Amino acid sequence: MSPSQTLTKVEAVLTKVRPYIQMHGGDVALIGIEKGVVTLNISGACAHCSMADLTYNKLIGGLLMEEVPGIKNVVLKM
């Protein structure tokens, strides 16, 4: 898969989950993708929520690794 195809698929997953995140007062943005590692910026209420790690690493990370070939890990920046 080309880098542009990977980027498109990652953005599609984030577009799917973004309304859920925004409903809870937060947001998520893609910082970059390098060597199978997706770096996300989380902001708003989610940046200080005790459930953020679970939401981002399990839910979003799981979806990214399931739906985008080559994604191995998700790193969060707050």
Q: For residue 46, what are the domain limits?
A: 3-77
Give residue 10's pLDDT.
97
Q: Please state the domain count of the chain.
A: 1
The one-letter code for the residue type at 24 is H
Query: Tens of pLDDT along 18-45?
Result: 998 899 888 899 999 999 999 998 888 7
Q: In the prediction, which pLDDT does 59 show?
A: 83
Band the pLDDT of 8: cuts 50, 70, 90: very high
Its pTM stands at: 0.85
The stretch 56-61 carries a mean pLDDT of 80
Q: How many Cα atoms within 13 Å fall on the side-chain side of residue 24? A: 17
64, pLDDT greater than 90 = yes
CATH for 69:
3.30.300.130
